[in-house]
């Protein structure tokens, strides 16, 4: 069946307008944050309101009804949502960026995907799936962990190794686009942070994936995907790892900004209780509290500058029409991990000064602290993994890791 592509039904909103829409979602997900953790997934109502606000269309190609903005638009919009609830911001961010990933696929896959209005997708990238070649495509089986937001996705991108066409050639990592109806989930997501992301394990057995729903990781890294040729916007030629991990950085930025706002409001009106003596002092008048606010603010601002400088570097490389070089990719991988380190440092500074009131489950700062630390151990942003990889490159060694 031929699917007719459609243009956006409404004028393209400004980034400021999208942030304003996200601010309304922030209020909603903040009110639901405790329930989101308890149910271990973002509410269907929140996802529906994100969709109704057009927020999943940020990176969607214009010829399929999207706004065709870049990662520099994704970051502030996602951060706004995550300031209300880290888990909600995390799932939202992945829903947004996977529209970009769909746009890298062959045209037939894009037509198929966007024939369903409002479709969103997620995925699990490690190439752990067992893949066999069959007529017309592949069959894949396996278990893929950490599939965030899977309860709300209509499609999943799952990693696997394409068997070589010629004997003796190496297998090639690729992403396989699979409809949700073809797979299942193991409900095993019980965590101390990002609990509401519902990052369950995806389970698939002998799932057929036609060849047009496969994209090679090498093409994603090099900006040479089928979709890069289909769309004129250089956004879809960006090297995947020089830009895509900022999708995970953006929620942490929001967590830190939300924690700073909550902490500031709390200490403005709170007085100390004391133990035997020393009570009834305004927290805002303590030099240590003032210093914590300054430290968090400085860390957040430094992270923000780092993020947008790296995104500009990736954009310029894509617009030049050349592959992002090794220096650019590793500089951006460093920026991703270091900005998260700064943001976790900001939340740590605030949480350590929040006192006994900060540890109650109803207080947002303890949730931001747990969520930020959970995000910080993600392999894409783990400081130990990324910093050693960059150090190897800087010292003239072959870098070992994801870049």
* Same domain? 245 vs 390: yes
Please name which of 348, 363, 343 lies closest in space to residue 270, comparing C-alpha atoms: 363
CATH code for the domain of 146: 2.40.110.10
Q: Take residue 118 and report the two structure tokens written for it.
A: 């409002």
* Same domain? 267 vs 366: yes
Over residues 189-221, the pLDDT tens digits come to 999 999 999 999 999 999 999 999 999 999 999
Provide mean pLDDT across the span 104-118.
Answer: 96
Task: Please check the confidence at residue 278 and state whether its pLDDT lies above 70.
Answer: no
User: Higher confidence at residue 318 or residue 173?
Assistant: 173
* Same domain? 324 vs 342: yes
Separation in Å, CA 281 to CA 285, 352, 353: 8, 18, 15
What's the maximum distance between 2 C-alpha atoms anywhere in the chain?
79
In a domain, 257, yes or no: yes
CATH code for the domain of 56: 1.10.540.10
Instruction: Provide the pLDDT for residue 375.
Output: 97
In a domain, 253, yes or no: yes
Residue 225 and residue 236 in contact, taking contact as beta carbons nearer than 8 Å: yes
* Same domain? 312 vs 387: yes
In a domain, 336, yes or no: yes
Order of strands across the sheet that contains 172-179: 184-186, 200-210, 137-147, 121-134, 155-162, 172-179, 214-216
Residue 176 and residue 129 in contact, taking contact as beta carbons nearer than 8 Å: yes
Task: Please check the confidence at residue 10 and state whether its pLDDT lies above 80.
Answer: no
Please name which of 232, 192, 103 lies closest in space to residue 377, comparing C-alpha atoms: 192
What is the number of other CB atoms lying within 10 angstroms of the CB of residue 212? 18
In a domain, 156, yes or no: yes
pTM value?
0.94
Task: Please check the confidence at residue 5 and state whether its pLDDT lies above 50.
Answer: no
Please name which of 393, 239, 378, 390 lies closest in space to residue 322, comparing C-alpha atoms: 239
* Same domain? 98 vs 131: no
In a domain, 349, yes or no: yes
| Domain's final residue, options 113, 138, 160 | 113
Task: Please check the confidence at residue 9 and state whether its pLDDT lies above 70.
Answer: no
Q: Take residue 387 and report the two structure tokens written for it.
A: 């910093």
pLDDT averaged over the chain? 93
* Same domain? 381 vs 301: yes
Mark residue 123 as left, alpha or beta (left: phi above 0; alpha: psi -120 to 50; beta: remaining). left
Residue 95 and residue 56 in contact, taking contact as beta carbons nearer than 8 Å: yes
Separation in Å, CA 293 to CA 98, 130, 257, 298: 35, 50, 11, 9
Over residues 13-44, the pLDDT tens digits come to 999 999 999 999 999 999 999 999 999 999 99
Boundaries of domain holding 155: 121-216
* Long-range contact pairs involving 63-68 (C-beta distance under 8 Å, separation at least 24): 63/5, 63/7, 63/231, 64/5, 64/6, 64/103, 64/110, 64/114, 65/6, 65/7, 65/8, 65/9, 65/114, 66/8, 66/99, 67/8, 67/12, 67/13, 67/18, 68/12, 68/233, 68/235
- Measured in whole angstroms, the distance separating CA 224 from the mean position of its chain's CA atoms is 22
| Domain's final residue, options 69, 85, 113 | 113
Over residues 305-349, the pLDDT tens digits come to 999 999 999 999 888 876 778 999 999 999 999 999 999 999 999
* Same domain? 156 vs 185: yes
List the single range of 4-13, 77-86, 109-118, 361-370 with lowest mean pLDDT.
Answer: 4-13
* Same domain? 99 vs 126: no
In a domain, 23, yes or no: yes
Task: Please check the confidence at residue 85 and state whether its pLDDT lies above 60.
Answer: yes
| Domain's final residue, options 216, 250, 276 | 216
Provide mean pLDDT across the span 150-162.
Answer: 97
Round to whole Å and give the CA distance between 325 and 109.
Answer: 29
* Same domain? 108 vs 136: no
Instruction: Provide the pLDDT for residue 154.
Output: 98
* Same domain? 103 vs 135: no
Round to whole Å and give the CA distance between 22 and 89.
Answer: 10
Separation in Å, CA 384 to CA 82, 131, 335, 338: 25, 32, 13, 10
Instruction: Provide the pLDDT for residue 275.
Output: 54
Task: Please check the confidence at residue 172 and state whether its pLDDT lies above 70.
Answer: yes
Q: Take residue 359 and report the two structure tokens written for it.
A: 């540890």
Backbone φ, ψ for residue 138 (5° rounding)? -145, 160
User: Higher confidence at residue 176 or residue 355?
Assistant: 176
Task: Please check the confidence at residue 6 and state whether its pLDDT lies above 90.
Answer: no
In a domain, 3, yes or no: no
CATH code for the domain of 273: 1.20.140.10
As for how many domains the chain has, the answer is 3
* Same domain? 271 vs 131: no
Band (229; pLDDT cuts 50, 70, 90): confident
The strand ranges marked E within 224-332 are none
């Amino acid at each position: 069946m031929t699917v007719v592509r459609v243009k956006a039904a409404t004028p393209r909103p400004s980034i400021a307008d999208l942030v304003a829409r996200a601010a309304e979602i922030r209020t909603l997900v903040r009110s639901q944050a405790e329930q989101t953790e308890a149910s271990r997934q973002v509410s269907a109502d929140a996802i529906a309101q994100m969709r109704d606000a057009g927020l999943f269309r940020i990176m969607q190609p214009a010829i399929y009804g999207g706004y065709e903005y870049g990662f520099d638009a994704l970051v502030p919009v996602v951060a706004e949502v995550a300031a209300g609830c880290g888990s909600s911001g995390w799932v939202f961010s992945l829903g947004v960026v996977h529209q970009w990933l769909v746009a890298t696929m062959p045209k037939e896959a894009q037509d198929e995907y966007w024939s369903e209005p409002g479709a969103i997708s997620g995925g699990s990238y490690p190439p752990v799936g067992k893949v066999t070649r069959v007529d017309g495509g592949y069959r894949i089986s396996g278990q893929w962990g950490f599939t965030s937001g899977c309860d709300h996705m209509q499609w999943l991108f799952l990693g696997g190794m394409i068997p070589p066409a010629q004997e003796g050639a190496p297998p090639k990592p690729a992403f396989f686009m699979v409809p949700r109806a073809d797979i299942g989930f193991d409900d095993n997501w019980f965590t101390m942070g990002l609990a509401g992301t519902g990052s369950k394990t995806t389970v698939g057995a002998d799932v057929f994936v036609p060849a047009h729903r496969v994209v090679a990781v090498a093409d994603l890294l090099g900006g040479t995907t089928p979709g890069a040729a289909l769309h004129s916007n250089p956004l879809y030629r960006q090297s995947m790892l020089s830009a895509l991990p900022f999708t995970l950085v953006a929620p942490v930025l929001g967590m830190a900004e939300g924690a700073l706002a909550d902490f500031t409001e709390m200490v403005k009106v709170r007085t100390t209780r004391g133990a035997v003596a020393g009570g009834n002092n305004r927290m805002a008048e303590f030099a240590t509290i003032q210093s914590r606010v300054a430290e968090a603010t400085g860390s957040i601002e430094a992270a923000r500058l780092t993020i947008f400088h790296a995104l500009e570097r990736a954009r310029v490389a894509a617009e030049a029409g050349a592959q992002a070089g090794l220096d650019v990719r590793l500089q951006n991988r460093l920026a991703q991990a270091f900005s998260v380190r700064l943001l976790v440092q900001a939340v740590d500074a605030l949480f350590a000064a929040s006192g006994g009131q900060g540890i109650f489950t109803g207080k947002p700062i303890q949730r931001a602290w747990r969520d930020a630390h959970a995000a910080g151990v993600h392999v894409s942003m783990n400081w130990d993994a990324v910093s050693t990889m960059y150090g190897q490159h800087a010292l003239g060694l072959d870098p070992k890791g994801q870049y």
